């Protein structure tokens, strides 16, 4: 999954880009959001997989 990351939806003016704290805060926020997305995806995937596995092992009615 290839993605092009834009650090901000609101690009900063070049005068602010040289301020290390603002840039670091912006990148940290973007990284935290991405990490949350990845973790949420993995949890959802594991929940779905667990539900599929439990359905496979439930005894069915045999006639």
pTM for this entry: 0.52
In terms of pLDDT, which residue wins out, 3 or 56? 56
Q: Which two tokens stand for residue 62?
A: 């045999």
pLDDT mean over 57-61: 61
Q: For residue 23, is pLDDT > 60?
A: yes
Neighbours of 42 (CB within 10 A): 10
pLDDT at position 6: 58
HSE-CB at 45 with a 13 A cutoff on CA atoms is 6
pLDDT at position 42: 95
């Amino acid at each position: 999954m290839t993605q092009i990351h834009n650090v901000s939806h609101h690009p900063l003016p070049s005068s602010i880009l040289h301020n290390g704290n603002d840039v670091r805060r912006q990148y940290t926020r973007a990284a935290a959001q991405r990490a949350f997305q990845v973790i949420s995806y993995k949890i959802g995937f594991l929940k779905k997989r667990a539900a599929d596995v439990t359905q496979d092992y439930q005894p069915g009615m045999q006639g």
